Structure 1
C-alpha cells in the first residue's frame, strides 16, 4: 500500500473542507471497497478523509410517507430497521442478500451507492480497462465475462456489471440522493446518479468535485403495494448476482394498477425496466403477460460470449419475482 495522508472529520463542513485541500482525496466511510482497492493499488489517493464519525447514521420516517436515510447507516441497521422491513421489504431483502454479516455491519448506505465494479480486469491492475486506464480498451469484451459482466447498458468501452443489490431495490422504489460539497447542497434522482459507460466508462456517477452523499430519501410506498427482491447466483451466499430483480406492484383485484421493475447483475447500472412496466400496467395479471414483460425487460440485451446465458436468466429473475408477488 502506498503512503497517504489521513484526517478524521468531526462534521460535514469539516469533511468537505478537508477534502478540498487537494484533488487526489477520497472519503472513507466503512472502507469495505476503498481499502481493498488501495491494497490492490487500483485506487491511489494522496489523502483519505475519514467520515465514519459523522452523525449521518439515522433512519427517519417522514410525515409524508417518505424515509430519510443517513449515508452512514450500516447495511445491517438499514436491513433490520422495523419501518424498512414493513414498508420496503424489497430493500431489506436486497441488503440481506449481499456480502456477509461482518461486511454488512461495516458497509454504509452511501458507500454501497458508491461501490465500484468487481470486474477482474479492472482489479488486476495490468489488463486493458478503460475504467482504470482510459483509452486502454476493455479486456472483458473478448475475455472471461461470465459472472460480473452485463448484457444490458454496456458499450464497446466497458461491460462491467454494477455490483450492488441495494441500489437495484432503491431504483425500483424510487429515491433521491442528497449531496453536499464546496458549492452547497443539491439533490439528484436516484435513477440518474449512476452513469452508463458509453464513451466515458471512468465516469461512474453524477458526483461533482468535492461532493459527498449525506442522505438518501426513499419515495413513499406505492399505495396498496407489495414488493420483493430476487437474486439468482451460483451459490446461496456471499456471491454477486448473476441476475436479480426488484419488483414493486399494486393490484386492483387482478389488474396491475401500478408497477416498478428493476434489474441487477445483467446491467451496467441499477436498471429501471420502464418498458416492461408499460407492458403490464393497467392489464389483468396472467402468466402470458408476465412472460411478455420479462422478455421486454431484457430487450436489446447483447451477449459477449460466456455471459450470453444472462439474456434468459434476466428474464427468469423477472418472471419468478412477478409470479411470487402475484400468486
Structure 2
C-alpha cells in the first residue's frame, strides 16, 4: 500500500475544500470499497480526507412527505427504518440483499452509490484496464464476461455497477444532494452515474471534491407496492447477475403505472423507461411483463468471452422481471 496523508477536517465544507484543492485526494466514509482498493494497489491517493461525524446521520420527514436520508446513515439503519420498510419496501429489500451484515453496518448511504463500477480485471493491477489506466485497453472484452454488461457498454469498458441500493434509488426517482466547490446542488439519481463511452474512468457526474450530503426519496404511493429481486451465483455476499427493482399500480387487472430499474446489466443502474411505457395500460399478465422486458432489451448486446459469454442474462432478466411483477400484481403463478 502506498503511504498517504490523512486529514480529519472540522466540517464537510473543509473536507470539500481539501479534496477539491488536491487532485490526488479522496474522501473516506465507511471505507468498505476504498480500503479494498488501497490494499490491492488499485487506489493510490496522496491524501485521504475522513468524513466520520461530518455528514447527517438521520432520516428527516420533509413537508411534502418525502424522506431526506443523511449521507452518514448506515445501510443497516436505512434498511431497518420502519418508514422505509412500509413506504419503500424495494429499497429495504435491496439494501438487505447487498454485501454482508458487517459491511452494511459500515457502508453509508452517501458512499454506497459511489463505489467503483468494476470487474475482476479492474481489481487486478497486472492486467490492462481503461478504468484504471485510460487508454491501456479493456481486458474484459474477449475475456471472462459472465458478470459483464449487456446494455450501455462501449468498446472501452463493459463492467457493471455493483450497488443494489442504487438500483432501487433509480426506480424511486430519488434525488442526490451534494456539496461541492461551487456550492450545493441536487441531481436526479438517474443522472448520477455515467455510461462508459470513451471515458470509463469517470463513474459519476460528480466533480472532483463534490460530496454527497443526502438523498431525497419523494413521496410516491406506488412505491408501497414494490419489490427487489436479485439473481446471483450464491445466496449471499455476491454481486447480481441480474436484478430488478419494480413498483406497480394495478387497477381492475390493468397496470396503471410502473417504476422499473435493472441491476447487473450496465455500467450504471439502468432505469427501464421502455419497459415502463410498455406496461402502462397493459393487462397484468405474464405476456405483458415479457413484452415489457423485450422492449427494454431491444438494444441489448451480450459480450462474447472465454467463458461462453453472457447472452444468458437476456432470458434471465426477462424471467426475473416477469416473476417480480407477477408477485407484485398478486397473480396466481399457475
TM-score in same-fold range (> 0.5): yes
For the 8 Å contact 1:26–1:45, the answer to whether it is kept is yes
Q: Which residue matches 2:213?
A: 214
SS at match of 2:76: helix
SS of the aligned residue for 1:307 comes to coil
The aligned counterpart of 2:317 is 314
Instruction: Give the conservation status (yes or no) of the 8 Å contact 1:10–1:51.
Output: no
Q: Is the 8 A contact 2:20 2:210 kept in 1?
A: no
The Cα of 1:297 is off from its aligned counterpart by 2.3
1:62 maps onto 2:65 in alignment: no
Unmatched 5+ stretches in structure 2: none
The one-character-per-residue Cα deviations of 1:196-252 (angstroms, maximum 9, x if unpaired) are: 001111111011121100011012123585000000011111111000000011122
Provide the residue aligned with 2:228 in structure 1: 229
Corresponding position: 1:171 with 2:175: no
1:116-165, CA deviations, whole angstroms, 9 ceiling, x for partnerless residues?
13401101012121100111111101001112x11111011100011000
CA contact (8 A) 1:62 1:68 kept: yes
Residue in structure 1 matched with residue 133 of structure 2 by the alignment: 133
Please name the residue that 2:190 is paired with.
Answer: 191
Partner-residue secondary structure (3-state), 2:225: strand
Q: Which runs of 5+ in 1 are unaligned?
A: none
Q: Hey, what's the Cα distance between the residues in 2 that align with 1:209 and 1:118?
A: 19
Shift in Å at residue 9 of structure 1?
2.2
TM-score, normalised relative to structure 2: 0.95
How far did residue 18 of structure 1 move?
Answer: 2.6
For 2:270 and 2:222, the matched residues in 1 are separated by: 23
SS of the aligned residue for 2:298 comes to: coil
Q: Could you tell me how far apart the structure 2 residues matched to 1:224 and 1:28 are?
A: 32
The answer for the alignment partner of 1:181 in structure 2 is 180
Quote the offset at 1:10 in angstroms: 2.7
Partner secondary structure for residue 256 of structure 1:
strand
Aligned length: 326
Equivalent residue, structure 1, for 2:114: 114
User: Partner of 1:72 in structure 2?
Assistant: 72
Q: CA RMSD in A?
A: 1.2
CA contact (8 A) 1:171 1:270 kept: yes
Does the 8 Å contact 1:10/1:53 carry over to 2? Answer: no
The whole-number CA distance in structure 2 between the counterparts of 1:177 and 1:163 is 18
Structure 2 CA distance, aligned partners of 1:28 and 1:314? 34
Q: Does the CA-based 8 Å contact 2:87-2:223 persist in structure 1? A: no
1:254 offset after TM fit, Å? 1.4
Q: Which residue of 2 aligns with 1:273?
A: 272
**Contact 2:160 2:267 (8 Å CA) reproduced:** yes
Distance 1:18 1:193 in 2: 22
SS in 1 for 2:319: helix
TM-score by length of 1: 0.97
Are the counterparts in 2 of residues 70 and 109 from structure 1 also a CA contact under 8 Å?
A: yes
Instruction: Note the C-alpha offset of 1:181.
Output: 1.3
User: What whole-Å deviation, never above 9, does each CA across 1:67-88 have from its counterpart, x for those lacking one?
Assistant: 1011111000000011000000
Change in Cα spacing, 1:166 to 1:102, as seen in structure 2 (3 Å) is: same
| Secondary structure in structure 2 of the residue aligned to 1:262 | strand
Whether the aligned pair in 1 keeps the contact of 2:149 and 2:267 (CA below 8 Å) is yes
Q: State the SS of the aligned residue for 1:122.
A: coil
C-alpha distance 224-268 of structure 1, shift in aligned 2 (>3 A): closer
Distance 1:167 1:209, change over 3 A: same
Of the structure 1 ranges 32-41 and 291-300, higher mean CA displacement relative to structure 2 is found in 291-300
Structure 1 residues 11-20 or 176-185, which shifts more? 11-20
1:246 is matched with 245
1:287 matched to 2:286:
yes
CA contact (8 A) 1:224 1:251 kept: no
